[in-house]
Amino acid sequence: DAGVIQSPRHEVTEMGQEVTLRCKPISGHNSLFWYRQTMMRGLELLIYFNNNVPIDDSGMPEDRFSAKMPNASFSTLKIQPSEPRDSAVYFCASRTGTGSHEQYFGPGTRLTVT
């Protein structure tokens, strides 16, 4: 299995621009999670989906952030407009729906907003 795939691996953009991060979960996994990691705040859960349905988006910092999961094999996290304080590493993780609680993480997207 290829594991969780994220793209791009690095993104540098200017303040005000739209940014779209992409994630392909492990095949057969029913849950998908978006996290943000910074030195100051550590690892934060932004939003997660079960069977493509958003369950909890309470961690999404502002309305500038949105996430979608149009099918079981693809999800996006969009920031519009981006701000310098959004600079972080964004991780996607997936999990089976069969009672196992462990999550499997992708390599992350390092976002820099200038």
Strand positions, DSSP E, 1-114: 5-7, 10-13, 19-24, 31-38, 42-50, 53-56, 65-71, 74-79, 88-95, 104-105, 109-113
Q: Which is nearer to another protein, 57 or 64 (CB)?
A: 57
Which of these segments, 19-27, 44-52, 62-70, 80-88, binds another protein (CB under 8 A)?
Answer: 44-52
Q: Which is nearer to another protein, 30 or 76 (CB)?
A: 30
Handedness of CA 71, 72, 74, 77 (dihedral sign): positive
Does residue 57 touch another protein according to CB under 8 A? no
Interacting residues toward another protein by CB under 8 A: 4, 31, 42-43, 45, 48, 50, 55-56, 91, 93, 100-108, 110
